[in-house]
Structure 1
Amino acid sequence: MTSDRSGRPVVVVGAGPVGTSAAILLAQHGVPVVLLDRWADVFPQPRAVHLDDEVHRVLARMGVAEEFAAVSRPGRGLRLVDRDLRVLGSFEREGISEASGYPRANMYDQPDLERVLRGRMAALPLITFRGGVEVTGVEADGPVAARVRLREVASGAEETLDASFVLGCDGANSTVRQSIGSSMEDLGFEQRWLVLDVDTSADLRQWEGVQQVCDSRRAATYMRIGETRYRWELRLLDHETADDYATIESLLPLLAPWTRNVPVEELKLVRITSYTFRAAIADRWRSGSVFLLGDAAHLTPPFIGQGLGAGVRDAANLCWKVAGVLAGQLDAEVLDSYEPERSGHARSMILLARRLGVVMTRGGRLGDGLRRLAVPGLALGDGRADHGIGPLLHLLAHRSQRLGGEAVSEHLASLL
């Protein structure tokens, strides 16, 4: 066996939910951790809003199940709807999972989750958190050694940290990924979307799950994420920017299917921004003692709510192995299993989200008509990588052929 007992910490780059989860899991195994981030506090803007029961179970392993339950609400699943919110297909996730014991779908505000994780981190003395620093480079120096170059944002002072391992949890524009020469494989999806959160105590009288609006002109997503907090994601047209929708009044035509009976003064715009949704995966997740996790390793469109959860799964897979190697209980070769075990699942989730995004947005008026004919009444299964939306897509093609012949079937297949 090979191990490193020199006391060098594991350095985790990025203190979002994935990096903080990794730090907590390592510390629980007795591993000293230095957690680095450009920001000293929780980034205040909401982003991710959904975690499934399996990730909830990982949070329980970290000791924050009750705290997360207090800031989240159980979801009911996902429905595909048309522009008039008529149900085309459903993916029910209501209730408690018999396998995990936690709600199958959990809706929340990401800053709330991050505060829960920061609170747990503060209770673990093996974690040293350093905010206000920017990592400028990482070098692997053997199987259990690495160097991290960083700069203090305020002063510009530079220093180097010695590490046993480096976990790059630094997001889509990962410095760690660039440092190890890894690049992102484009999986063929890029769309600009408007993302906004609204606070209101009004009763919108909507289904409590996620609605995915299948509309080739203006696809959209609606969900309730808190007691009075709602999230909309709406595809931007080519000529539009987020600046065109800077006020709640300018948004009313887009939100009308959900809010037409709510007085405008009862709707508070919490935040609005635009994102480019992409599908991509790193061509390699490791160089020696340096690893990639979360968005540094994979980017998924948000349509099935698995982006952040995939990063937490990365941390749950890798951290016990790193701890075992450092303790001399496991051979270093066990670390070779991380990428094979995680990349296939991550890729399948990305492709699943991509295909749903395509179903929601492509095909023009003919595609909209085919969706109305082919989808109604379908159930999407249990949401696992080998079930879920895949059967829906096959059934769509089958029904379209039955309804409209080969030409219609081929057109729908081109959307998938």
Structure 2
Amino acid sequence: MHASSHYPVIVLGAGPTGLTLANLLGVYGVRTLLLERNASTVDEPRAVSIDDESLRTAQAAGLIDEILPTIVQGYGVHYYSWSGRQFARIEPQSTEYGYPKRNAFRQPVLARQLCAGLQRFPHVDALFRHELRQFTQEQDKVVLDVEHDGKRVVLSCDWLVACDGGRSGVREQLGIAMSGNTFAEKWLIVDMLDRTAPFRHTRTYCDPVRPAIRLPGPNGTVRYEFMLKEGETPEYVLDEQRFRAWIREREPLDAELPIARKVVYTFHARLAERWRQGRVLLAGDAAHLTPPFAGQGMNSGIRDVTNLAWKLQEVVHGRLGAELLDTYEAERKPHAWALIKMALLIGRYMQPKSLLGAMAAQWALKACSLYPPARDYVLQLKFKPKPRFGEGFFVPCQAPDAAVKAGQLLPQPKVELPGGRRQLLDEILGPGFAYVGWVGQPLAPEVESLVAAFGMRRVEIVPAQDDFPWPLPPAEAGRLLVRDCEGVLQKVLAEAGADALLVRPDRYVLAFLSRRVQGDAARLRELFRRHGAKIG
């Protein structure tokens, strides 16, 4: 590569957020440059939990077969009182989006897998040991002044996405403030290797004397987290003899394990006041800082770029206007904040300030577990805020009581192909927009023109109770026939009072369509026109 190279998109930062974005842009065919100031991807096990939505994104990026064998799928959390007795547990069993809700992973392994995934794309470049010094925005581009091994490199792009972490230099140069709180409580993290204790679930010790967490991971790893008391210094708690004694109290088999990492951290609950300024966008920790108690920090960053990648594609390829990028913050920011609030609520249980407070919180959770609907709400992690938008690029749902509305992530059941093979829905939908409707149903002319203009895949579904039509209709390019063998899509359409739906590339419902409701197709067409689509 030579100086003054220009890219449609430059991604700054090779953490999980930036690497995921670069892979998605690779899938979408967008010429992209990833810049990272360090010599390689991170070798520290920072995040340890990856959720079902992030695994669905890995599926979209074409890397799920590499990632699944290296994680622990479907772990739960067991809560213990100050006396060491278990008083609650969360073990979600549902796979609404195609994968278990909670999974343990090693961040260095994931980062290497994501980095290796970029080699599939000749139109995606990755440059390490390249540090951004400053940038300027012009009317039609962003110009970056980059340093590489003491030499200056000038680059430019149409769009710069800053995935450069909680201390984002890009955010600082833009003068974007962070609102929210930084908390006084500090925690010690100890990552260890070669565990022999087989218990696979997280143990959370809600002990006012010393709140603690034990998180088993893949390949014999285990993490301990201990809350520091007021006045305790990092030097005091990082003393190996001291924290090994704390570990011995929780699990004697872990006490003498080799140490991979030990660090003291402070947690934050903060949001950037703006996520876009001109041609620069913020994602991941640059846009929000999440307390660790719900394991959603990295996952929120992956949600950011899942939302942003397809929008960048549509803008770069000229199918939609730059105003589409304004929907990124509008859609993502409220959900990111909802997850931060959930993490803070969980944190209150995990770090009680007194024995009386611990007893009150734990008795409340015990009482809740006696009522089956409430118990299911907790055990199946239904208290986690739904991935659902209040405003953005979608046609609002006309059925407010539907479980899945427009602007919400569509479930991912398995569907059956003619011949009996079953696949996850997204493999059928393909990487772009898709139409999903009953077999043999004609499309309104307005919908037909959108399907054609955006190259939408047309997926026609057969109800679970029916066989495929015989003889099978002739195969057509961009048109697939599947059976809704689990009945999930039938339920979604029935509750919405719809005959069909359109799905965005990030698998959120774009619109429901019904032959019985006037104006569905017109509202959909107007949405695209408002965002710069040139359709007949």
CA distance in 1, matches of 2:184, 2:116: 36
Given that residues 210 and 224 in structure 1 are in contact (C-alpha distance below 8 angstroms), is that contact kept between their aligned partners in structure 2?
yes
Which residue of the partner structure matches residue 285 of structure 2? 295
Which residue of the partner structure matches residue 51 of structure 2? 52
Q: How does 1:31-110 map to 2 (within 5 A)?
A: 31-94=30-93, 97=95, 99-110=96-107
Give the counterpart of 1:150 among 146, 149, 165.
146
CA distance in 1, matches of 2:113, 2:84: 35
Given that residues 19 and 35 in structure 1 are in contact (C-alpha distance below 8 angstroms), is that contact kept between their aligned partners in structure 2?
yes
1:20 Cα deviation from its structure 2 partner: 0.7
> When the two structures are superposed, what TM-score results if normalisation uses the length of structure 2?
0.66
Which residue of the partner structure matches residue 9 of structure 1? 8
Q: Percent identity?
A: 32
Which residue of the partner structure matches residue 174 of structure 1? 168
Kindly tell me: are residues 263 and 291 of structure 1, through their superposed partners in 2, closer, same or farther at Cα, counting changes over 3 Å?
Answer: closer
CA distance in 1, matches of 2:254, 2:386: 42
Kindly tell me: are residues 169 and 43 of structure 1, through their superposed partners in 2, closer, same or farther at Cα, counting changes over 3 Å?
Answer: same
After superposition, the C-alpha distances for 1:305-363 in whole angstroms (9 at most, x for unaligned) are 11101101100101111111111111211111000100000000011101221232243
Which residue of the partner structure matches residue 401 of structure 1? none
2:230 counterpart of 1:234: no
Given that residues 301 and 307 in structure 1 are in contact (C-alpha distance below 8 angstroms), is that contact kept between their aligned partners in structure 2?
yes
Kindly tell me: are residues 14 and 83 of structure 1, through their superposed partners in 2, closer, same or farther at Cα, counting changes over 3 Å?
Answer: same
Amino acid at match of 1:370: A
Given that residues 182 and 267 in structure 2 are in contact (C-alpha distance below 8 angstroms), is that contact kept between their aligned partners in structure 1?
no
Given that residues 212 and 227 in structure 2 are in contact (C-alpha distance below 8 angstroms), is that contact kept between their aligned partners in structure 1?
yes
Amino acid at match of 2:282: L
Give the counterpart of 1:326 among 304, 316, 320.
316
Kindly tell me: are residues 221 and 168 of structure 1, through their superposed partners in 2, closer, same or farther at Cα, counting changes over 3 Å?
Answer: same
Kindly tell me: are residues 231 and 37 of structure 1, through their superposed partners in 2, closer, same or farther at Cα, counting changes over 3 Å?
Answer: same
List runs of 5+ in structure 2 lacking aligned partners. 370-374, 388-536
Kindly tell me: are residues 375 and 78 of structure 1, through their superposed partners in 2, closer, same or farther at Cα, counting changes over 3 Å?
Answer: same
Which residue of the partner structure matches residue 125 of structure 2? 128
CA distance in 2, matches of 1:286, 1:221: 36
Amino acid at match of 2:11: V
Amino acid at match of 2:335: H
Number of residue pairs matched by the alignment: 374
1:34 Cα deviation from its structure 2 partner: 1.1
Structure with bigger helix share is 1
Kindly tell me: are residues 185 and 129 of structure 1, through their superposed partners in 2, closer, same or farther at Cα, counting changes over 3 Å?
Answer: same
Which residue of the partner structure matches residue 192 of structure 2? 198
CA distance in 1, matches of 2:107, 2:254: 28
Which residue of the partner structure matches residue 370 of structure 1? 360
Q: How does 1:303-318 map to 2 (within 5 A)?
A: 303-318=293-308
Given that residues 8 and 316 in structure 2 are in contact (C-alpha distance below 8 angstroms), is that contact kept between their aligned partners in structure 1?
no
CA distance in 2, matches of 1:219, 1:227: 26
1:8 Cα deviation from its structure 2 partner: 3.1
CA distance in 2, matches of 1:129, 1:313: 22
Kindly tell me: are residues 383 and 304 of structure 1, through their superposed partners in 2, closer, same or farther at Cα, counting changes over 3 Å?
Answer: farther
CA distance in 2, matches of 1:341, 1:221: 33
Kindly tell me: are residues 137 and 231 of structure 1, through their superposed partners in 2, closer, same or farther at Cα, counting changes over 3 Å?
Answer: same
Which residue of the partner structure matches residue 392 of structure 1? none
Give the counterpart of 2:115 among 112, 115, 118.
118
Amino acid at match of 1:114: A
Q: 43-52 or 375-384, which moves further after superposition? A: 375-384
1:384 Cα deviation from its structure 2 partner: 5.1
Which residue of the partner structure matches residue 203 of structure 2? 211
List runs of 5+ in structure 1 lacking aligned partners. 1-5, 389-416
Amino acid at match of 1:287: Q
1:275 Cα deviation from its structure 2 partner: 1.1
After superposition, the C-alpha distances for 1:237-291 in whole angstroms (9 at most, x for unaligned) are 233344335565332221123322x3855x1112111111111110110101100
